[in-house]
Chain A
């Protein structure tokens, strides 16, 4: 009999009993992330589907009708005539009746027939700056198409033709689903372990354990093991739902994704354990786990906001966010079909993080029995 292994495994067995003894929490543990995934997955979209476009048409000609039809034909815009004056545009925006206004001048048709250039005014509500940028891009694109078919003034000196790889429709869902998975995995894993040691502090069972000749690394490893399986099961479910429900094209190796997801889970579990060695009560531990995973993952991982556009100081902080590395991995494998060689750097970073967090937990734990 190897005594060391048996202590770790009996610890793991005990933790496993705790988990299955409470089936209600277990159901919540599985259902909560699935619901969150579905909610986030449908809510988080960068595309603006229906832009309400108010049209003030001073021309009322065939050409102006063509222009409006061009907008109606693209599935992004919902144009409607607005009979008010230009002064009333503000009211339109304030009442959120329109996102943008197009003003067609009275000589639009005549100028166009003469093959001359003519201005068309667009006014965009930029109270949501991101949406305004997107709308401007849509407008520019629609106008370009219109000009090509109706207004051949002269050939352009050169034309930009971009080809888009990996997500040609630029569906933001494909981009967000890995992010949501990263967020849910880190949150649940860290919260799972954050209460395990604090609970034993609160109930006093830690005293009993500490008086035994068990070493602190045995406690920490015994606590991590069963939660790896639990979090892995949750991880598989949300990965599958995320990929199939939202139709995310899967290009890489599912085995590689599962292996590296387990590594990411381990990092989060270790973070939770470290919190558990510091916090005195379960409530505090849960709060710390929630705040230390939710906010950084949302803000600093590249989940929504590109890291490259952050101020330099914040960019340094992103190195401490495990989700940053997991996003490289998940987006790489799912969308681009990256292999392990492509993802070596984030993998190593996650590995180092887990080890450091585990060592800190073990150290921290040794100190707590003295004080």
Chain B
């Protein structure tokens, strides 16, 4: 039995096809990442898993329960953290946690124990009387996560939990996710940050309402067919447009302080010196690079748009 099983799932909003024919399996105890740009249909898919939306066609099963028929059963075992911070800003940290404990009918004798545990990992205890609206972005996310964990769900669905959070808090957040997974909870998380994809056991890439590829991040990276080089120099834009004009170039991409260029075939050793002269020594360093998840997805998007 899979934790989440999605078969030929489609969801329309009126005429708009938000999700077209998605099939996907998430194993129990897995940290599964759903990667894709804004508007790819990630939120629609996640809300459907959480029984907030009915499928237009196809079906979703969560722990072997159907999302449209047994939704009350699913709601007891699922924890959902929506994209926007959606707790009560005018209630304190404790009041928020206690409200959600009541909402999910956490037994009274269990409640205190769970609150203490959640305080422990989120380190929110010193702030427990502070209003949620007065917390920092990272702390808000941890509180939201705590609220969605209060009933110890078997499956945790997180919709872009680290959106707009500083890098340090993001790293801390992912550490927490990993420790939750260690306890056997299945986690289904969406993100628009490619580097976070590498932290998942498996990822699926969603684009324009479809899953383009899925698998472990390592395997996805191996599927990149072209030799990739990381180039550095004085003027990146100039460098990029120079390579754009060359033959047998698959794609170029600005990558922070470097340009990633993928070639249709391995370039010969001596041609690099020629390029260096042609760019008036703008090209200074070149190094073979193993493709990142982002390179693969950029490539896949390009393929998708071509077809």
Residue from A11, A206, A210 having most chain B Cβ neighbours under 10 A: A210
CB-CB contacts below 8 Å: B69-117 with A? 72, 75-76, 78-80, 82-91, 95, 98-100, 102-105, 107-108
A210 to B104, CA, bound (A): 11
Residue A312, interface by CB 8 Å: no
Q: Does A6 contact B (CB under 8 A)?
A: yes
Complex CA–CA separation, A205 to B89 (angstroms): 10
In the complex, which residues 1-49 of chain A have their Cβ closer than 8 Å to any Cβ of chain B? Answer: 1, 3, 6-7, 10-11, 13-14, 17-18, 21-22
* A14 CA / B102 CA spacing, docked (Å): 11
Determine if A212 and B54 form an interchain contact, defined as CB atoms under 8 angstroms apart: no
> A207 to B52, Cβ gap below 8 A?
yes
Q: Which residues of B contact A254 (CB under 8 A)?
A: none
Which B residues touch A13, using CB under 8 A? 99
Q: What 1/0 flags go to A203-221 for Cβ under 8 Å of B?
A: 1111111111110000000
Cβ–Cβ < 8 Å partners of A6 in chain B: 102, 105
A370 on the interface (CB 8 Å rule)? yes
Give the chain A neighbours of B85 by CB distance below 8 A.
204
When the two chains form their complex, are residues A213 and B76 in contact, meaning their CB atoms are under 8 A apart?
A: yes
Tell whether A369 is near chain B: CB-to-CB under 8 Å. yes
Q: How far is the CA of A18 from the CA of B80 in the complex (A)?
A: 23
Question: Which residues on B sit within 8 Å (CB–CB) of A214?
Answer: 103
* B105 A208 Cβ-Cβ under 8 A: no
Q: Are A205 and B86 also in contact (CB < 8 A) when A6-B102, A7-B102, A211-B51 are? A: yes
CB closest residue in chain A, given B79? A211
B50 within 8 A of A: yes
Please tell me if B53 contacts chain A, counting CB pairs below 8 Å: yes
Chain B interface extent, by class: 20 to 34
Also in contact, A212 and B90, with CB within 8 A (given A17-B95, A204-B82, A207-B82): no
Interface pair A213/B52, CB less than 8 Å apart: no
Asked if B147 and A208 make an inter-chain contact with CB atoms under 8 angstroms apart, the answer reads yes
Q: Cβ of B83: which chain A residues have Cβ within 8 Å of it?
A: 204
Known contacts A204-B84, A205-B86: A211-B52 contact under CB 8 Å: yes
Q: List residues of A (170-212) whose CB comes within 8 Å of B's CBs.
A: 203-212
Task: Look across to chain B and name the residue whose beta carbon is closest to the beta carbon of A18.
Answer: B90
How many chain-A residues does the 8 Å CB contact rule pick out? Answer: 26
Judge whether A211 and B50 touch: CB under 8 Å: yes
Contacts of A369 in B (CB 8 A): 52
Is A211 in contact with B78, judged by CB distance below 8 angstroms?
Answer: yes
Contact B105 A213 (CB under 8 A): yes
Q: Is the CB of A203 within 8 A of B103?
A: no
Interchain CB contact under 8 A, B87 and A205 = yes
- Total number of A-B contacts with CB less than 8 angstroms? 76
Q: In the complex the two chains form, what is the Cα distance from A207 to B90 in whole Å?
A: 17
Per the bound structure, the CA–CA distance linking A208 and B108 in Å amounts to 21
Nearest CB on B from A10, distance (A): 3
Flag if B84 contacts A212 (CB, 8 Å): no
Q: Which residues of chain B are near A7, meaning CB under 8 Å?
A: 102-103, 105
Q: Is the CB of A14 within 8 A of B91?
A: yes
Chain B, residues 143-170, CB within 8 Å of chain A (1/0): the string is 0000110000000000000000000000
Chain B residues lying within 8 Å of A206, measured Cβ to Cβ, are 86
A211 touches B75 (CB 8 A): yes
Docked CA distance A22–B88 (Å)? 13
List residues of chain A with CB within 8 A of the CB of B100: 208, 212
Partner of A210, one of B52, B87, B99: B52
- Tell whether, in the assembled complex, residue A211 and residue B80 are in contact, meaning their CB atoms are under 8 Å apart: yes
Least CB separation from B147: chain A residue:
A208
A14-B98 Cα distance, complex, nearest whole Å? 10
- Given A203-B86, A204-B85, A370-B53, do A14 and B99 touch, yes or no (CB 8 Å)? yes
List chain A residues, Cβ under 8 A from B79: 211
Q: Which residue of A lies closest to B102 (CB)?
A: A10
Interface members, chain A 66-91 (any B CB < 8 Å): none
- List of A residues within 8 angstroms of B103 by Cβ: 7, 10-11, 209, 212, 214
Which residues from A are CB-within-8-Å of B87?
205, 208
A72 to nearest B CB, angstroms?
64
CA distance A211 to B75 in the complex (A): 6
State the CA gap A308–B32 with chains docked (Å).
69
Closest to B109 in A: A1
Question: Which residues of chain B in 137-193 are interfacial with respect to chain A, using CB atoms and an 8 Å cutoff?
Answer: 147-148
A223 to chain B, nearest CB (A): 13
Name the CB-closest residue of A to B54. A370
Complex Cα gap A17–B89 (Å): 11
| List of A residues within 8 angstroms of B54 by Cβ | 370
Nearest Cβ in chain A — how far from B48, in angstroms?
11
Sample 17 A-B pairs with CB under 8 A, ordered by A number: A6-B102, A7-B103, A10-B102, A14-B91, A17-B91, A204-B82, A204-B84, A205-B88, A207-B82, A208-B86, A211-B78, A212-B100, A212-B103, A212-B104, A214-B103, A369-B52, A370-B54
**Interface positions of A (Cβ within 8 A of B):** 1, 3, 6-7, 10-11, 13-14, 17-18, 21-22, 203-214, 369-370
Query: Closest 6 interchain pairs by CB?
Result: A204-B86, A10-B102, A204-B84, A211-B80, A212-B103, A207-B82
